[in-house]
Structure 1
């Protein structure tokens, strides 16, 4: 073991280490695409000149029209409350289908004699890959990537063709909107032919991660052809978060052809005064591993970021990060990105992460499949703790649908764990969701045997994190004295969807259990937080806090509508209620005008939520029930300066805590204001006011990305709002907007918060909803000036915004 100090800086990225021959070539741009199952589309010689030119990431399903329910699926006239839950309601009312992608390329001459791989981060939902007409690989579970060796398939000095067939499967193959196609990155990976690092080869652990000292252990996977029996020489270099080299060492090991590929420890290093990763200080180290020849020159090189951090779980305190108790304040959502569908754009992911952090979230559960690699990179950078989930249910139906789940998991688990295990943001592995009630799960014992089979494989690949599965709420009713499911007794973390009320009794009966509320409903928001033992439980993840496509409660809604942010990322008033207890040290008050509530059954849980509004444009002579959300001691409500009195925040009642209800408040045009006070403060600690607005007169446009990169992938989200003469947003304005762009950028998404809208999320027009809409621009690889013009249909003044890509 070597002892080093993180404060010692040496040369950064020595030039010798930059000569590695591994080459990564992104091939995201300029694919040819067409929708439909086209005969002979895999052939090398095929006329695709009339196909559309697209750029990856790409979700072809988001471009498909909405599919309304058939007449026999419409509600019974005698039962108008019945929802239209057609065969496509869960999958966003988009038709299932096939898409074909083709790309023609000429291999570089320097690739000769090398090993050439095609690497797909995912193909949704299942996919097949062809090179020059021959099938060379594919995926039966599109949420995970794969590589395929095409070294012997290439024809040098002439054009070669990659063809990809992507199939969304049948409606029953997912319970949510999946999207379709090449929704994540594609690249060539070129390595040496006879000795190289394997796929996802590095594994970095920090078995000691104390404030004054840490140990870093780096393992690597190496493959060598049997003919190459020379010792394996490696060089390991570690860089601190400032980019300073703090360690380097070269070592040799004899090749063992009986163990090939070979996984072994490169080195074990001790770091004094480490910079530890946390939610507040998400600092990252880097490990660089090289295979070197007798002259010291690198011929293969891989690297990974990692964090030094300590995680602990116990029924006594729930979860600790770096020795401090931390409550998971989370969200459980699907992987899609609003107007972009499933296309995994890092900028759109980062926008959501920043929004969640702003409102107090520190945790995301990847429901119910692995997210993109860029998502995990961003969670590392922004200090978000992740529960990384592999599957929905352990059924072929939900695992792609064309290959038995029993034949998949042995291969999906290694790809998943090896891909993700160096991310410090990940603290728990979850093998599945809502499992233990289904006898049709293989082996007929409600998931016990499948779990016991999978867990050892997870632990072999990563012994540092606990393993869980999320338990379905059905099966126990509300009998708090009932026996937990057998599977619940076996998991490292006991995860219940919605049934937090079982934690206390189950914990008394089985003291080893450590509890996590893997899904919490928005309809019970507040009680399902405050009624947990926050000192002993791990935390919770609220379901669907960002509205999303799919899992509709009935046409014409295209998806889930019970989040605290709408699908265009506008916060609803309830976002401030959540913020009041997710960020208890930040004084807050927010006014919400209460609307109607509709009961909706979801897995035996009433997930229906009341409509809340920020608008004070009501009908003269009416009254309204009003909530003021606050974490202060009391709130005063005023209308046009006249006080309606002060009301205390009833913190002893979980159903009233942080939300004060003012009933039958008479509407008066003008201003309604809430002032929050603490007992120790004579002045308000927080205020919020909303005003009656005049007619919308003009549009204002606000861009979100000041460092817009000209890389062909980076995005600019531009929020357009209708305002009156005083600059106040008019939430009644719903004019249609037309968008046009000039310069090196293109429109790839248009969205508002209305899930019932018949408008598409692609195109060049979108109506305002609650006075806002968002247009999303994607850069091209050329830098330059970009002008977006917004033209409304009606008497509102349009707007133009000038931007530039860097």
Structure 2
């Protein structure tokens, strides 16, 4: 008892100076350092975990880059989010499911990544609770602060945070280190590698609202005229003495008008414990969240001490809405029947990989909304908090999916973390416990595991539905006990038969389609690995996009469907393999440029009049041959014209399309869409000439631009301004220093072109040999097509006299960065360093040693990018609207970004 009393006295003294502290949350995505480690041994991994006392032996004994004294000045400077796989080349020996990127399994030099960042924490923060929060790291991350090991998160999809309070050096720089091991895959699709989501520095009072500790559950009456907003506050005491606090909850409507303020007085006593505070606030005539008007309320929660001094404050947005899935009538939102019109998607995009910042997330979601989609299935892992915020604000219903089924602590922990973190998002209507678990979904093991997980989720959230994507016949196993049946593909079983035997079970199509299409291609070319964009079955037993939507649309009991996929993604290059590196499934390509199936869905997924004609009309050499012409429209009738001559008017079948066989002749092929006998819309395709100039368009709107992202569409036009749909021209990008090109792409599924222009590879020099006053070692050469930058850093006690490469002097200064011409490189290269210091230490573990890293900076041939079927994309990060200009000189196209000299 004496020890406990002393403990509480010390705690009280320690925290009395910070009673006025309030919460701050700072995004710390800027100014990180990055370098590749090595998976083979400690020498390849900067000597990590090789010290006599390493990080698992004694607290604070982080070694290698985990040491705060480690010298990282030669590492690459990066900003988060960061996916290092985008820097890597493609290799036929790499994983096809991960897009043949030369990282991960079999690529030891590019499967480990190290990140380091200096964080200054002022002395005034002493007494606060300091924590680091990660939204997601792929994968198997270990984290240190100032050499103190914080923990390990295996999953690449979980958010996690660490309390670093005892390890902070106040009034000084603090070194945050993250080691990421992406050797093992979690999925069968491109997953990227690195800190690909945001990181935050959080500071709170010892008495504070628990992280993910506000739970808001609105309950609407049937008349939709009244809602009880049930709230649970969880307050954490991380070290304060016994006292009374006031917890204030203030509710604001979507217009920002204060509705009600509720104060609750509670006693805080036990240290390192939580208390839960339930309350309810009544709202009359609530403004409802739905897909057309996603209105959001906000709840501000504050904590005050005995003297009414503010200790903590947080704000949560939420929506008031009701969801109901009827086994025979389908899905209802706020009492209104709607059909779920969804897509499945992975989180990868051309150029940036999985490092989707907020601007790119809004860009992609708005493309789906423009197609008429109202729903999104996260495939097959929890989504980022930023992503779900965007779905809340844009009005997109979400199925959020668990990564791995199981009932042990690790599995249940992951489920709990997902639900607790994302509980307040009105966009989420269903939790998915798994996807196509072929080993268990059709047997009793699956039934038992599904029952266990569903019962566990009920203890966490009883306000949403539970589902799973199933593909095993739809007759046995999990299909009988999952709360909402999720059908993965009509070709995998008899949906109608399952419904007739399970008429009390709501259902939806969690995956459908899986069709193959290459944007702008209308004749399959297996040699080039291009698939025709005409909608058709991907295989005899599966359904086309039109067949899939037609099936689900006409069956009222089916709540809706999620097509595979909204966007193409790296990996799973079905039906091909190398050299294909992306999927063919998307309604859009990897850049978000629509394929023709996009327009089919748009014609029946949204009410705004639309008309689309395909294919293009550049068919030189096919004169007089029949070309299949298709029109997609939601209008009553469509009339087709060739060079002004009518080819007939046809009535548009519901949920279908129209087509004509047209003998090709160059000119203008046009369509007119009618409603109530009047022409409402026209669309046309024109036989174009050669590329005359490049049109530059900012594709994303002001909302995503406000996040600092500008998505530039590069479009080939002829001299008359007509689109050139088969253009493959290359162009040069010249970028001023004021803008950063995050990535580039063109949607070509077989392209192996670099995705960004500041790629750096590193090779560590470890085999030092000392010869008198000379350090001598041998390295392997880099490709002669690329320049190398030799970087040598030493401490102040070590002085370099000369550096000689293959017998030729390249330097005569003390330290610095040295560019070396490739003409000097051979297969084996000898570097001799002559030092003034005869007592220099060698090795990688001690910061007072000679450290040498050779960086290979990839320089594209004048930063060239090629069009694919007339289009390409450049993603720019900037705080201001970039100046764009395209110039043609002697058939050479140059795109300038900013004021380029």
Q: Deviations over 1:82-132 (max 9, x none)?
A: xxxx64344443421111101123321121011111111111122110112
Secondary structure (helix, strand or coil) at the match of 1:356 reads helix
Q: Deviations over 1:691-734 (max 9, x none)?
A: 111111111211245648999x6211111112111111112222
The 1:225–1:770 alpha-carbon spacing in structure 2 relative to 1, beyond 3 Å, is closer
Secondary structure (helix, strand or coil) at the match of 2:133 reads strand
Q: Deviations over 1:499-532 (max 9, x none)?
A: 3863322222122111110001144212222223
- Cα distance in 2, alignment partners of residues 206 and 645 from structure 1: 55
Matched-pair contact (CA < 8 Å) for 2:36–2:112: yes
Secondary structure (helix, strand or coil) at the match of 1:338 reads coil
Is 1:111 the counterpart of 2:125? The answer is yes
The 1:302–1:544 alpha-carbon spacing in structure 2 relative to 1, beyond 3 Å, is same
The 1:440–1:662 alpha-carbon spacing in structure 2 relative to 1, beyond 3 Å, is closer
**Match runs of 1:324-335 below 5 Å:** 324-335=336-347
Report the count of equivalent residues.
714
Aligned to 1:768, which of 842, 850, 867? 867
Secondary structure (helix, strand or coil) at the match of 2:368 reads helix
The 1:36–1:495 alpha-carbon spacing in structure 2 relative to 1, beyond 3 Å, is same
Matched-pair contact (CA < 8 Å) for 2:245–2:306: no
Secondary structure (helix, strand or coil) at the match of 2:613 reads strand
Matched-pair contact (CA < 8 Å) for 1:328–1:362: yes
The 1:372–1:745 alpha-carbon spacing in structure 2 relative to 1, beyond 3 Å, is same
Is 1:339 the counterpart of 2:340? The answer is no
The 1:539–1:706 alpha-carbon spacing in structure 2 relative to 1, beyond 3 Å, is closer
Matched-pair contact (CA < 8 Å) for 2:137–2:194: yes
Partner of 1:674: 671
The 1:183–1:790 alpha-carbon spacing in structure 2 relative to 1, beyond 3 Å, is farther
Partner of 1:416: 418
In the TM superposition, residue 791 of structure 1 has moved relative to its aligned partner by 5.8
Matched-pair contact (CA < 8 Å) for 2:359–2:704: no
In the TM superposition, residue 556 of structure 1 has moved relative to its aligned partner by 1.3
Q: Deviations over 1:181-233 (max 9, x none)?
A: 1111111111112x221110100111125532221111111122586332342
In the TM superposition, residue 566 of structure 1 has moved relative to its aligned partner by 1.2
In the TM superposition, residue 358 of structure 1 has moved relative to its aligned partner by 1.0
- Cα distance in 1, alignment partners of residues 486 and 214 from structure 2: 30
Secondary structure (helix, strand or coil) at the match of 1:184 reads coil
- Cα distance in 1, alignment partners of residues 888 and 868 from structure 2: 13
Partner of 1:380: 392
In the TM superposition, residue 159 of structure 1 has moved relative to its aligned partner by 2.8
In the TM superposition, residue 633 of structure 1 has moved relative to its aligned partner by 3.8
- Cα distance in 2, alignment partners of residues 211 and 564 from structure 1: 36
Is 1:484 the counterpart of 2:483? The answer is no
Partner of 2:709: 715
- Cα distance in 2, alignment partners of residues 694 and 776 from structure 1: 28
- Cα distance in 2, alignment partners of residues 709 and 774 from structure 1: 16
In the TM superposition, residue 642 of structure 1 has moved relative to its aligned partner by 1.6
In the TM superposition, residue 579 of structure 1 has moved relative to its aligned partner by 1.2
**Match runs of 1:394-409 below 5 Å:** 394=405, 406-409=408-411
In the TM superposition, residue 615 of structure 1 has moved relative to its aligned partner by 4.9
In the TM superposition, residue 345 of structure 1 has moved relative to its aligned partner by 0.8
Secondary structure (helix, strand or coil) at the match of 2:74 reads coil
- Cα distance in 2, alignment partners of residues 50 and 490 from structure 1: 57
**Match runs of 1:205-284 below 5 Å:** 205-208=217-220, 210-225=223-238, 228-255=241-268, 257=270, 260-265=273-278, 267-284=279-296
The 1:169–1:790 alpha-carbon spacing in structure 2 relative to 1, beyond 3 Å, is farther
Q: Deviations over 1:396-422 (max 9, x none)?
A: xxxxxxxxx844122112211111110
The 1:677–1:512 alpha-carbon spacing in structure 2 relative to 1, beyond 3 Å, is same
Matched-pair contact (CA < 8 Å) for 1:144–1:412: yes
Partner of 2:657: 659
In the TM superposition, residue 536 of structure 1 has moved relative to its aligned partner by 2.0
The 1:616–1:212 alpha-carbon spacing in structure 2 relative to 1, beyond 3 Å, is farther
Matched-pair contact (CA < 8 Å) for 1:234–1:291: yes
Partner of 1:466: 465
Matched-pair contact (CA < 8 Å) for 1:35–1:60: no
Is 1:495 the counterpart of 2:486? The answer is yes
Is 1:690 the counterpart of 2:685? The answer is yes
In the TM superposition, residue 740 of structure 1 has moved relative to its aligned partner by 2.2
- Cα distance in 1, alignment partners of residues 364 and 716 from structure 2: 23
Matched-pair contact (CA < 8 Å) for 2:97–2:573: yes
Partner of 1:548: 569
Partner of 1:28: 29
Partner of 1:728: 722
Partner of 1:623: 626
Partner of 1:608: none
The 1:256–1:447 alpha-carbon spacing in structure 2 relative to 1, beyond 3 Å, is farther
Question: Structure 1 residues 143-152 or 755-764, which shifts more?
Answer: 755-764
**Match runs of 1:490-569 below 5 Å:** 490-499=481-490, 502-521=494-513, 522=515, 523=537, 524-532=544-552, 533-553=554-574, 554-569=577-592
The 1:790–1:641 alpha-carbon spacing in structure 2 relative to 1, beyond 3 Å, is closer
In the TM superposition, residue 152 of structure 1 has moved relative to its aligned partner by 0.8
What is the RMSD of the two structures over their aligned residues, measured on CA atoms? 2.5
**Match runs of 1:298-377 below 5 Å:** 298-377=310-389
Matched-pair contact (CA < 8 Å) for 1:743–1:786: no
Partner of 1:49: 73
In the TM superposition, residue 648 of structure 1 has moved relative to its aligned partner by 3.6
Matched-pair contact (CA < 8 Å) for 1:241–1:284: yes
In the TM superposition, residue 460 of structure 1 has moved relative to its aligned partner by 1.7
Secondary structure (helix, strand or coil) at the match of 1:32 reads strand
Secondary structure (helix, strand or coil) at the match of 2:566 reads coil
Partner of 2:153: 139
Secondary structure (helix, strand or coil) at the match of 1:200 reads strand
Unaligned runs of 5+ in 2: 1-19, 39-44, 47-63, 105-110, 516-536, 538-543, 758-862
Q: Deviations over 1:518-553 (max 9, x none)?
A: 001144212222223442211000002211111112
Partner of 1:80: none
Secondary structure (helix, strand or coil) at the match of 1:379 reads helix
- Cα distance in 2, alignment partners of residues 702 and 676 from structure 1: 27
Normalised by the size of structure 1, how large is the TM-score? 0.84
Q: Deviations over 1:232-273 (max 9, x none)?
A: 4201111111122211121112447499322231x2111122
- Cα distance in 2, alignment partners of residues 365 and 336 from structure 1: 15
Q: Which has the larger radius of gyration?
A: 2
Question: Structure 1 residues 110-119 or 501-510, which shifts more?
Answer: 501-510
Aligned to 1:635, which of 630, 634, 638? 638
**Match runs of 1:448-467 below 5 Å:** 448-467=447-466
Partner of 1:401: none
- Cα distance in 1, alignment partners of residues 238 and 425 from structure 2: 31
Partner of 1:587: 609
Unaligned runs of 5+ in 1: 1-18, 70-85, 396-404, 477-482, 594-612, 652-656
- Cα distance in 2, alignment partners of residues 92 and 198 from structure 1: 42
In the TM superposition, residue 760 of structure 1 has moved relative to its aligned partner by 1.7
Q: Deviations over 1:731-780 (max 9, x none)?
A: 2222222222226321111111211112122124311111111111112x
The 1:740–1:709 alpha-carbon spacing in structure 2 relative to 1, beyond 3 Å, is farther
Secondary structure (helix, strand or coil) at the match of 2:444 reads coil
Partner of 2:191: 178
Partner of 1:599: none
- Cα distance in 1, alignment partners of residues 21 and 422 from structure 2: 24
Matched-pair contact (CA < 8 Å) for 1:205–1:422: yes
Matched-pair contact (CA < 8 Å) for 2:250–2:261: yes
Aligned to 1:573, which of 583, 590, 596? 596
